[in-house]
Amino acid sequence: MSKGDISRETNGTEARLSRASVGRLSLYLRRLDELLRDGSLKVSSSQLGEALGLTDAQVRKDLAYLGHLGQPGIGYPTRELMTAIRHTLGVDREWKAVLVGVGNLARALLRYRGFQQQGFRIVALFDSDPAKVGQRIDGLTVQARDELPTVIAAAGAELGLLTVPAEAAQSVADILVGAGIRGILNFAPTVLRVPPGVSLVSVDLTVQLEQLAFLVQLGGDT
């Protein structure tokens, strides 16, 4: 498979993408979609930034990483920009994911249209609760946890979505890693450890809520 490296290819522009920049690329993509639907074939950095609360300079810096797409005096070609962002983010292809832990959050993820749209497909469900195994949800059958390795291999899934309780999260993560999963989106309120070569993104709702409490308590600016 492609052996990853952070450096850029074609032009000679050497640049890095911070986590924050990557997050903003997602936002640009979404906004570009709206702008394109409104008929904008060209878009300027300030246009793109304003609805997202970003400065034009910030937008240009981020987009510079994609190569020299901008046209001075004109702006960026909407469609080409979207294609380039999709390619950079890696969402110009399909990603297969397995979902472990079938609760309400899992159901929410399953039904969430945004995922499908961006090329993410959930191909299998797992749960340790025997009462849930065998249930059908949105066309998928819940499977037992010890089937994880074989199913992942058979389906060629690369991503794992973790919606199990905190206590189980690390051991499930280990199993996923052992089964060859390359990235985990963790919703369990724990800090997970994964070996190098496996990517991890965590969404910790408790942390977010406490962040909000803190900000409100301050008498809160944004």
Partner DNA sequence: GGATGTGAACGACTTCACAGCG
Partner DNA sequence: CGCTGTGAAGTCGTTCACATCC
Segments of 47-179 assigned E as strands: 76-77, 95-100, 120-126, 136-137, 140-143, 159-162
Site string for its own copies, 135-174 (x = CB under 8 A): -----------------------xx---------------
| 73 near its own copies (CB under 8 A) | no
What are the b/e assignments for 28-40, b being 16+ CB within 10 Å? bbbbbeebeeeee
Nearest approach, Cβ of residue 185 and its own copies (Å) = 5
How many residues sit close enough to its own copies to count as binding (CB under 8 A)?
Answer: 71
| 36 near DNA (CB under 7 A) | no
Element (H, E) at 82: helix 78-89
| 107 near its own copies (CB under 8 A) | yes
Q: What is the DSSP letter of 71?
A: B
Alpha-carbon span 120 to 91, nearest angstrom: 8
From candidates 8, 36, 58, 204, binder to DNA by CB under 7 A: 58
Give the SS3 label for residue 167: helix
Q: Which residues contact 65 (CB under 8 A, 6 or more apart)?
A: 8, 13, 15, 16, 17, 21, 88
| 191 near DNA (CB under 7 A) | no
| 74 near DNA (CB under 7 A) | yes
| Region binding DNA by CB under 7 A among candidate stretches 11-19, 111-119, 143-151, 211-219 | 11-19
Q: Which residues bind DNA (CB under 7 A)?
A: 4-5, 13, 16, 18-21, 44-46, 54-58, 60-61, 63-64, 68-76
